[in-house]
Amino acid sequence: MIFNIIKKDNIDLLKKFIKLNNSSFFRYYDTRDIKIIKNHIITIILVDNENIIGYGHLDFENKMWLGICVLKKYRGNGYGKNIMEYLIEYAYKKNVDYIHLTVDKNNNIAKKIYEKYNFKVIEEKKNIYLMKKILT
């Protein structure tokens, strides 16, 4: 299993991930141009035996945001945990104080995973929860 750090000028692997992803699950790139990664602190793609497994990023947009997605056929195998731990450790090493994320209210599995990593719901909107984790 290899984490590929996506460089801002080499986004071919990211394009492959976006094509494989069902946007009804991870909609981040539905409303943003792929060039948004120029603003990311880090963007990673998890690959195992040439198969794209998942994606993650840290992005600063008024606050630090974490985005994560494991492709449907690979869920339930601990890959999300690997991506989450990698990004949290990366943020911690960069002296980030807080990480935020949003999760759909109907995505109970993801919400429970985030809660295991001490993310707390800080705001509730119509269809999503805004969650926050303190790193310091």
Count of CB atoms situated within 10 Å of the CB of 38: 11
Domain spanning 2-134: CATH superfamily: Gcn5-related N-acetyltransferase (GNAT) (3.40.630.30)
Provide mean pLDDT across the span 85-108. Answer: 95
pLDDT score at 23: 66
CA distance 130 to 7: 28
To the question of pTM greater than 0.75 for the whole model, the response is: yes
Q: How do residues 38-86 score in pLDDT, each as one tens digit?
A: 889 999 999 988 889 999 999 998 999 999 999 989 999 999 999 999 9
Q: Which of 37, 27, 49, 33 is nearest to 5 (CA)?
A: 37
Domain ranges of the chain: 2-134
CA distance 94 to 96: 6
Count of CB atoms situated within 10 Å of the CB of 47: 17
Query: How sure is the predictor about 19, in pLDDT bands with cuts at 50, 70 and 90?
Result: confident
